[in-house]
Amino acid sequence: MKHTDIIDIFGKEELIGTRVTVCGWVRTSRDSKNMAFIELNDGTTLKHLQIVIDKSVLTDISDYMKLGTSLKVSGTVVKSAVAADSVEINAEEIEVLGECPADYPLQKKRHTLEYLRTIPHLRVRTNTFNAVFRVRSVVSAAIHEFFQNRHFVYVHTPLITASDCEGAGEMFKVTTIGFSNNYKTEEEYNADDFFGRRAALSVSGQLEGEVAAMAFGKIYTFGPSFRAEKSNTPRHVAEFWHVEPEVAFAELPDIIEIAEDMIKYIINTVLEKCSEELKFFDAHFEKGLIEKLKNVAENDFAVMTYTEAIDRLLKADVKFQYPVEWGCDLMTEHEKYISEVICKKPVFLTDYPKEIKSFYMKQNPDGKTVAATDLLVPGVGEIIGCSEREADLDKLLSAMKSRNMTLEDYEHYIALRRFGSVPHSGFGLGLERIIMYVTGVQNIRDVILYPRTVGNIY
């Protein structure tokens, strides 16, 4: 269907006076005695294009005016009568591509995000989702650019796996066998299943990412990860998009530098390419968002050890719901206090107690902590989980044994420590979490097309 994208109509002086064809959905419409006005949006920009109808030229207009109707409009581009720097179309021909009845759920009023979650097939047509998904697309491209420009190889790690990377047991089982009483033991059941052993959806591409990094030096993965954790919070979904670089010959400070550079690259790209969207989020979701992003891009992130953070939390003049003591897992309230009150900016919290972190993290000489860091940001909390990996075979084996892990499931991973092991590090960034941070949208369900959460699959 030959037509011009609405984004290409705006800001093009040379189009004024020419005839164009545009397509889109009616966002609003207004009828007066001699004229009618339609705001048309085709999704290529947040801005709506005004279609001006002279009722002496087009007489029967009722079908064009209903919200949600899709139209093909041909007409002349003219300067806007109200906004000097904008344009509109004087319609000459209009074709209805798809009618839309009066019970179309997206009527003029502002709907709540909670209501919009019940109509995921339509909420994408609202300004909020138009802006969120353009930012999401720009951020995804920026992530690829960042790594591609720095000699990282993009690898695709398997989504079906036999090992549990995070060891938290929060995996979705993959099976082709339905309900059955035929098996006496789980082993028997697994043996009869598709792969002949227990399989699950991967929580992280890291283990295979390490395999690739030991060949290509610097790699990244960018794909979905799955977590069957039942945490019904504004920050967790069961299926999220995961960016995981893995870098050979890199220790913890090296990977922290890469993570900070990547976040700043993402922010600068969004500031450059999504100015309209950011203005929208600044006005409707987080006052001062643009200023915040500029500040983050221009200043160093904080770095603080877990031990110092615990010290500061213990001294804080605040009554936390969950008790604080060295060795505890930090709760959202603690993370928020550290990034929002103590540091007031993104902070890499480093050197966590080994008991609360994963088996693969490099053990520090103190025997108590690991070379791991989480990046905590004000408003969202953790957006990156990062660590130097344990490259020493004996130490890795002892960490796995102390967690009662089945070593046979990790044969290849362990073997990497025998065949030319090197210091290496990596991290995982949750795409939805960085989208929340750069847009100010507070619920993860509103930055993903179809959120999968416990008890909820549309």
Contact between residue 271 and residue 297 where contact means Cβ atoms under 8 Å apart:
yes
Q: Is 424 in the site for ligand 4AD (CB under 6 A)?
A: no
Q: Is 350 in the site for ligand 4AD (CB under 6 A)?
A: no
The partner residues of 424 in beta bridges, in order of sequence, read: 248
Amino acid letter, residue 406: T
Nearest CB to ligand 4AD, comparing residues 318 and 457: 457
User: What residues from 358 to 417 belong to the interface with ligand 4AD (CB under 6 A)?
Assistant: 382-387
Contact between residue 213 and residue 249 where contact means Cβ atoms under 8 Å apart:
no
Give least dist CB 163 to ligand 4AD, A.
12
Contact between residue 99 and residue 126 where contact means Cβ atoms under 8 Å apart:
no
Q: Which of 346, 423, 428, 451 binds ligand 4AD (CB under 6 A)?
A: 428
**Interior CA angle at 216 toward 214 and 219, to 5°?**
95
Q: Which span (38-46, 305-313, 399-407, 421-429) binds ligand 4AD, by CB under 6 A?
A: 421-429
Q: Is 75 in the site for ligand 4AD (CB under 6 A)?
A: no
User: What residues from 193 to 222 belong to the interface with ligand 4AD (CB under 6 A)?
Assistant: 204, 206
Nearest CB to ligand 4AD, comparing residues 174 and 361: 361
Q: Mask 235-274, x = binds ligand 4AD (CB under 6 A)?
A: -xx--x-x-x------------------------------
Q: How far apart, in whole angstroms, are the C-alpha atoms of residue 309 and residue 380?
A: 18
Q: Mask 128-157, x = binds ligand 4AD (CB under 6 A)?
A: ------------------------------
Give least dist CB 168 to ligand 4AD, A.
8
Q: How far apart, in whole angstroms, are the C-alpha atoms of residue 390 and residue 365?
A: 12
Q: Is 357 in the site for ligand 4AD (CB under 6 A)?
A: no
Return the SS3 of 173.
strand
Q: What is the DSSP pairing of strand 70-79 with strand 49-54?
A: unpaired
Nearest CB to ligand 4AD, comparing residues 125 and 389: 389
Q: How far apart, in whole angstroms, are the C-alpha atoms of residue 163 and residue 157?
A: 13
Q: Is 426 in the site for ligand 4AD (CB under 6 A)?
A: yes
Q: Which of 125, 218, 417, 433 binds ligand 4AD (CB under 6 A)?
A: 433
Nearest CB to ligand 4AD, comparing residues 351 and 432: 432
Cα Rg of the chain (Å, integer) = 27
Contact between residue 72 and residue 97 where contact means Cβ atoms under 8 Å apart:
yes
Nearest CB to ligand 4AD, comparing residues 165 and 263: 165
Nearest CB to ligand 4AD, comparing residues 193 and 229: 229
Q: Which span (13-21, 45-53, 346-354, 422-430) binds ligand 4AD, by CB under 6 A?
A: 422-430
Residue 102: count of CB within 10 angstroms of its CB: 8
Query: CA dist 173 to 163, 202, 227, 385, 413, Å?
Result: 11, 10, 11, 24, 21
Residue closest to 235 by CA, chosen among 328, 374, 369, 123: 374
State in Å, rounded, how far the first CA of the chain is from the last one.
32
Residue closest to 272 by CA, chosen among 255, 247, 251, 297: 297
Interaction site with ligand 4AD (CB under 6 A): 165-166, 204, 206, 227, 229, 236-237, 240, 242, 244, 382-387, 426-430, 432-433
